[in-house]
A and B are shown apart, each in its own frame.
Chain A
Amino acid sequence: MNPNLEVKIGRLKFKNPVTVASGTFGYAEEFKDFINLKKLGAIFTKTITLKPRLGNPPPRTCETPAGMLNSIGLENPGIEGFIKEKLPFLKKIGVPIIVSIASEAGADEFMVLARRLDKIKEVAAIELNISCPNIKEKKTKRLISQDADATYDLVKSVRKVTKKMLITKLSPHVPDITEIACAAEKAGSDAVSLINTFPALSIDIETHRPQLATVTGGLSGPAIRPIAVRMVWEVYQKVKIPIIGIGGIIDASSALEFFLAGATAISIGMANFINPAASTEILEGVKKYLIKNKIKDIRMLTGALKT
């Protein structure tokens, strides 16, 4: 018996629920020597901005207990560079390509980006990265996803200019993530992805200096997993749109926790750095678990947490 793995995110079908998180998988080509990219449920690209971004000065990463900090600063070739240099490879893979976008300038720029992507057939969906801790909105000096009204306004604006599926990526750095998730849903987001990284600091005690050039960065990895699972569970009880669970998934059992908490699909993040074949290995592990436990459909696990 082969269990059903297909899931739906809005109108979009993923042949399986294992995807790769934005910023941890480059533009997929980096991984072509290590895995069969066709096996993935979907690919979230590195975040794209309107203009090319140089990113933050190095050092940009450091290892921490059961995790890592990063402050890449959304280095990317800009939307036109992305379309010209990166999209041709992504198009050929044959799995849904979800383009992550961000801006420091607010809704207008998000709308320009969404309009541009709306015209491209091979772009399956747009992820609104309104939660990267390393770039803040110029006007407000905060993350859009730290404010329910700002989230609502942003999603609503982008919703007006594209028919593509919209996925809103949420920050865990808020008192109540369900408020933000509800705002995204109300504004027309087709799904939410959570969580982005936590702002964090690591210090070199010999030099008394921060490990990262930007002082703080975003914490990811297994260290944040239980918090991410809790947030997925909380959001699951408040929204009807699907949740893409992210946060320190490094093996099948950690992936399964997210489904039980309420995720429809999951994204592999830091684990791609540890093992370039992590995503497809986790998919195999999830499949094995379903077969072993005679679960016919992955969708039966979503939100099956018994409390």
Chain B
Amino acid sequence: MPTHKTFQVKAKLLRNQRVAEKHYKMTLASSRLAKQAKPGQFVEVKVSEGPEPLLRRPFGVHRVSGSNFEILYEIVGIGTQLLSQKKPGASLDIIGPLGNGFTLSTTHHTAHILVAGGMGVAPLLFLAEKLKKQKPLVLIGAKTKRHILREKEFKQLGCSVKISTDDGSAGFPGKVTELLQDILQGHSPWKDNPCALYACGPRPMLKEIALIAKSHKIPAQISLEAHLACGIGACLGCVVNTKQGYKRVCKEGPVFEAQEIIW
């Protein structure tokens, strides 16, 4: 067995299910990838045989089970549109596992809070699985009730799940970051406990998370999204500004310490 940590593989598509309005979950077979992937890492998928689109599309590893792994995606453009049309049995050209994932603090007295905004649930389910013994609290923020993703799956892992919706159609009315503030300030069991934050979602949300974490003096790891060209650290296209200068989202990230980023 080759010892390379990252590799290129033709993975067989096992399932490509629609899980919400424009959201799909794809199951792919690769025992090597399933074995080596860590929460927060991602794969680069070639979505077309032809030249359109040319570049691969990055997806966080959503879940691993046995020799298979899953990705969760939303149709946002031509790449994900093409991906949604793939049928079981197809073979997909994949590079992975890529990037630095979450650092798992396994201290038992720490309360783990996972904060997902929209598609941010994708890498956090895999993380929740690894942290399930510590019963993490999962906050899922969505536009409306219809946009809530993976609530059931987090609950099945034994996580406590709290929902927020922008329009108030389910759970806490407002932003998921406001829900987090509430929890950290309110009379909840989470108050005054040593806790660790893990977040994935749109940048404005992650910036807010960084501010909240700072004011409460709690560590926070955030997973950034960026447009990638190569995904393997060669092109320097995906950099983010940090206190130590530009860093590559695809290589040093996508998971960073929230306080490291210059927002």
Contact = CB atoms under 8 A, between A and B. Distances in A.
Contacts of B51: 66, 222, 250
A63 B226 CA distance: 12
Interface in B1-25: 4-8
Contacts of B235: 23-24, 26, 61, 70, 72, 273
A149 interface: no
Contact of B7 (A33, A57, A61, A66): A33
Given A33-B6, A274-B54, A70 B234 contact: no
Interface string A140-153: 00000000000000
B156 interface: no
Contacts, number: 99
Given A59-B227, A274-B56, A33 B5 contact: yes
A61 B238 contact: yes
B237 interface: yes
Given A34-B7, A273-B229, A65 B237 contact: no
A272 B237 CA distance: 14
A221 B229 CA distance: 12
Report the contact-size class of chain A (Cβ under 8 Å from the partner).
35 or more
A78 B197 CA distance: 37
A55 B227 CA distance: 17
A54 B245 contact: yes
A186 to B, nearest CB: 34
A34 B46 contact: no
Nearest to B249: A58
B236 A72 contact: yes
Contact of A275 (B46, B227, B237, B240): B46
A236 interface: no
B138 interface: no
Interface string A287-301: 000000000000000
A70 B237 contact: yes
Given A33-B6, A57-B241, A272 B54 contact: no
Contacts of A59: 226-227
A132 to B, nearest CB: 13
A60 B237 contact: yes
B260 to A, nearest CB: 15
A270 interface: yes
A161 interface: no
A274 B46 contact: yes
Given A61-B237, A68-B55, A274-B46, 5 more contacts: A34-B95, A58-B238, A63-B54, A270-B229, A273-B235
Interface of A: 23-26, 30-31, 33-34, 46, 54-55, 57-63, 65-68, 70, 72, 75, 221-222, 250, 270, 272-277
24 contacts: A23-B235, A30-B230, A33-B6, A33-B7, A34-B232, A54-B246, A55-B236, A58-B226, A58-B239, A58-B241, A59-B226, A63-B55, A63-B227, A72-B235, A72-B237, A75-B246, A222-B51, A250-B51, A250-B54, A270-B229, A272-B234, A275-B8, A275-B46, A276-B8
> 3 closest A-B pairs (Cβ-Cβ)?
A61-B237, A26-B234, A273-B230
